[in-house]
Amino acid sequence: MHEFRFDPVRLPASAQALRGEVRAFIAEQLAQGRFDPRVNSWGSRDPAFSKACGERGYIGMCWPKEYGGHERSALERYVVVEEMLALGAPVGAHWVADRQSGNQILKHGSERARRQILPQICAGECFFSIGMSEPDSGSDLAAVRTKAVKVEGGWKISGSKVWTSGAHEAHYLIALVRTAPLEDDRHAGMTQFIIDTAKPGFSTRPIYNLYGGHDFNECIFDDYFVEDDMVLGGVGSGWRMVTGELAFERSGPDRFMSTFQLLLESMRQIGTQPNEQEAAELGRLIAHLATLRRMSTSIAGQLELGANPAIEAALVKDIGTTFEREVPEVFRKLLGVEPSLGHSADYAENLGLTTLRAPSYTLRGGTREILRGMIARGLGLR
Ligand SMILES: Cc1cc2nc3c(=O)[nH]c(=O)nc-3n(C[C@H](O)[C@H](O)[C@H](O)COP(=O)(O)OP(=O)(O)OC[C@H]3O[C@@H](n4cnc5c(N)ncnc54)[C@H](O)[C@@H]3O)c2cc1C
């Protein structure tokens, strides 16, 4: 049975010092009118803001200097990410590259991929998206049908991906592709490739979400040629790559802070004299948030030590996304505000948008049922 570990972590002084710097940077950006604090800020893309983050050294913070990184600790990075989300900064453009794709390239990419791509990510000028899901392959990723055929010097890819967040504005995506026929071992025969979205044979079509926004896409590969040195981690290692990547994807504060701005705004609406019910609900939500934060920093501490806390990360994502999904519902009932859409930037509007976004929080990055299956396996229950 897996032994769950959530050892307490004390943030080092360097990380605390960085918190003040990030707050000052964001205050400066706000004073210049560069952005409005947003709910789901890691879903809000603003390339100019990403570039400013790159100039400040806030992207690729833990990567080696020779690839444009800053050799800071995972806990220092944690503080930067947390402050960005707490202040509603539009970090979405560089989010995936910084959180997971760049790490994969650093660990498993060719030297050419590292030298060509990582410095651009660190500069806040190169954005990534994730090409895992397909029309008949979401939770069951081993069912991917997009396939690559070996040709001289590389591979030719044909097929399509869906729900690819931000692919229409990304420079690259990392795609999970079948490179050998499906056999008894369903997890064999898959490979991840780095896809340059500007090259011929790749195109995107928008898929509009519940509130009418264009975040995700269908991506189409039509005999797309990819060079051998844009394979990640070796041919056939796709499943291992994907599962390793998901540990980075699942444990961060982005998995419980998507609705943090709404929580803050709701507290402002309630004011300094909450009634008994408001005080009880606020107290409950804040206690949950504080606990989630401790669990998530503990995982950052383990990642820093080179561990792979995948089961712990699944637990944080499950509890965290349930929490962020609950926030709009609690305040809608508590404050008696009718959510609205398309009228103004007021509280009702924010509540309306968040209510429509909330169902996606427990789907993206792996559904609740899938995470609970992993946790149950970790507990030895299945
Ligand atoms: C906002 C958002 C952004 C996304 N961005 C991306 C992206 O950038 N890149 C990308 O590749 N994908 C992305 N996705 C896709 C996401 O990863 C999938 O939606 C998710 O993995 C579920 O797959 P599915 O939609 O095919 O549902 P299905 O896998 O068909 O699941 C349908 C239902 O059945 C349940 N279920 C399935 N299998 C089991 C099982 N074995 N046991 C118990 N229950 C099960 C699921 O929990 C779910 O409730 C995004 C999704 C959303 C909502």
Domains of the chain, residue spans: 13-126, 130-236, 251-378
CB of 138 within 6 A of ligand 1: the answer is yes
User: What integer pLDDT is reported at residue 243 of this predicted model?
Assistant: 83
Contact in structure between 157 and 221 (CB atoms under 8 Å)? yes
CA of 277 to the centre of ligand 1 (A): 36
This prediction has a pTM of: 0.95
* Identity of the residue numbered 187: H
CB of 41 within 6 A of ligand 1: the answer is no
Please name the fold of domain 13-126: Butyryl-Coa Dehydrogenase, subunit A; domain 1 (1.10.540)
- Tokens 């929490």 map to which residue? 323
Identical topology for domains 13-126 and 130-236? no
The alpha carbon of 14 is separated from its chain's Cα centroid by a whole number of angstroms, namely 25
Contact in structure between 80 and 69 (CB atoms under 8 Å)? no
Cβ atoms within 10 Å of 37's Cβ, excluding its own: 17
Residue 204, beta-bridge partner list: 219
**Atom 3 of ligand 1, nearest CA residue:** 364
Annotate 123-135 with b (16+ C-beta within 10 A) or e (fewer). bbbbbbbbbbbbe
User: What integer pLDDT is reported at residue 237 of this predicted model?
Assistant: 95
User: What integer pLDDT is reported at residue 168 of this predicted model?
Assistant: 97
CB of 139 within 6 A of ligand 1: the answer is yes
CA distances from 69 to 25, 113, 232 (A): 19, 15, 20
State which CATH number among 3.30.70.360, 2.40.110.10, 3.40.1710.10, 3.40.50.1820 fits the domain covering 130-236.
2.40.110.10
State which CATH number among 3.40.50.300, 3.40.190.10, 1.20.140.10, 3.40.50.620 fits the domain covering 251-378.
1.20.140.10
Atom of ligand 1 nearest to the CA of 369: 47
Residue 258: CA count within 13 A, CB half-sphere: 28
Cβ atoms within 10 Å of 101's Cβ, excluding its own: 28
Atom of ligand 1 nearest to the CA of 137: 26
CB of 364 within 6 A of ligand 1: the answer is yes
User: What integer pLDDT is reported at residue 355 of this predicted model?
Assistant: 93
DSSP 189-248: SEEEEEEETTSTTEEEEEEE-TTS-EEEEEEEEEEEEEEGGGEESSTT-HHHHHHHHHHH
DSSP 255-317: GT-TTHHHHHHHHHHH-SS--HHHHHHHHHHHHHHHHHHHHHHHHHHHHHTT---HHHHHHHH
CB proximity list for 5: less than 8 A, separation 6 or greater: 298, 302, 309, 312
Q: Angle of helix 347-361 relative to helix 310-335, nearest 10 degrees? A: 150
Strand 147-151 and strand 190-196: the pairing is unpaired
In the DSSP assignment, the letter for residue 48 is H
CB of 130 within 6 A of ligand 1: the answer is yes
CB of 347 within 6 A of ligand 1: the answer is no
User: What integer pLDDT is reported at residue 62 of this predicted model?
Assistant: 95
CB of 298 within 6 A of ligand 1: the answer is no
Tell me which of 42, 363, 374 to substitute to probe ligand 1's pocket, judged by most ligand atoms within 8 Å of the beta carbon.
Answer: 363
Rounded Cα distance between 223 and 32, Å, is 46
Rounded Cα distance between 157 and 160, Å, is 9
CB of 192 within 6 A of ligand 1: the answer is no
The one-digit pLDDT tens for each residue of the chain (382 residues) are 778 889 999 999 999 999 999 999 999 999 999 998 888 889 899 999 999 999 999 999 999 999 999 999 999 999 999 999 999 999 999 999 999 999 999 999 999 999 999 999 999 999 999 999 999 999 999 999 999 999 999 999 999 999 999 999 999 999 999 999 988 888 999 999 999 999 999 999 999 998 889 999 999 999 999 999 999 999 999 998 888 777 667 889 999 999 999 999 999 999 999 999 999 999 999 999 999 999 999 998 988 888 888 889 999 999 999 999 999 999 999 998 888 887 666 899 999 999 999 999 999 989 999 999 999 998 889 8
Contact in structure between 339 and 352 (CB atoms under 8 Å)? yes
**Atom 40 of ligand 1, nearest CA residue:** 370
CB of 220 within 6 A of ligand 1: the answer is no
CB of 356 within 6 A of ligand 1: the answer is no
CB of 204 within 6 A of ligand 1: the answer is no
291 by Cβ neighbours in 10 Å (0-12 / 13-18 / 19+) ranks as middle
First to last CA, the chain: 10
Residue 289, beta-bridge partner list: none
Rounded Cα distance between 91 and 103, Å, is 17
CA of 163 to the centre of ligand 1 (A): 9
**Atom 12 of ligand 1, nearest CA residue:** 133
Rounded Cα distance between 143 and 190, Å, is 10
